[in-house]
Amino acid sequence: MIFENSVNVGEDFSELDGKVKTSLLLIEKDFLLKFGFSPIVARPRDLFTIGWFKIVNEKDKEEIITILKGNFSVENGLYKVDLKKLWTNLRT
């Protein structure tokens, strides 16, 4: 069984993340085998990774920069955000 019925306070969520990824990959594979297609696409990678975006509305720029709290860099006019670092910093 992938998931247990009990939840422990202070449980390591990286283990839970792995269980969710495994479950999604199994569901995707089952759909592919039974129906020849899958309504979901699961990839075995971290949920939080590097995100890229461009600010097209200059009046939103200051608000976005405030929310990101320095967890970004600018490369060739695109903003690069480390989403894992951002999430960790927002939770503390």
The tens place of each residue's pLDDT in the chain, 92 residues long, gives 555 655 555 556 667 777 888 888 899 899 999 999 888 877 665 656 788 899 888 888 888 888 888 889 999 989 998 887 887 776 66
Q: Same domain, yes or no, for 34 and 71?
A: no
Give the domain range for residue 25.
1-45
- Spatial separation of the C-alpha atoms in residues 1 and 51, rounded to whole Å: 33
Stretch (H or E) spanning 26:
helix 13-35
Which residues are paired to 53 by β-bridges?
79
Q: Which two structure tokens, joined as six digits, stand for 30?
A: 């089952």
Check: CB of residue 40 under 8 Å from CB of residue 47.
Answer: no
- Shared-domain flag, residues 54 and 92: yes
SS3 68: helix
Statement to judge: residues 52 and 81 lie in one domain: yes
Split into its structural domains, the chain has a count of: 2
**Of the candidates 11, 28, 45, which is a domain's last residue?**
45
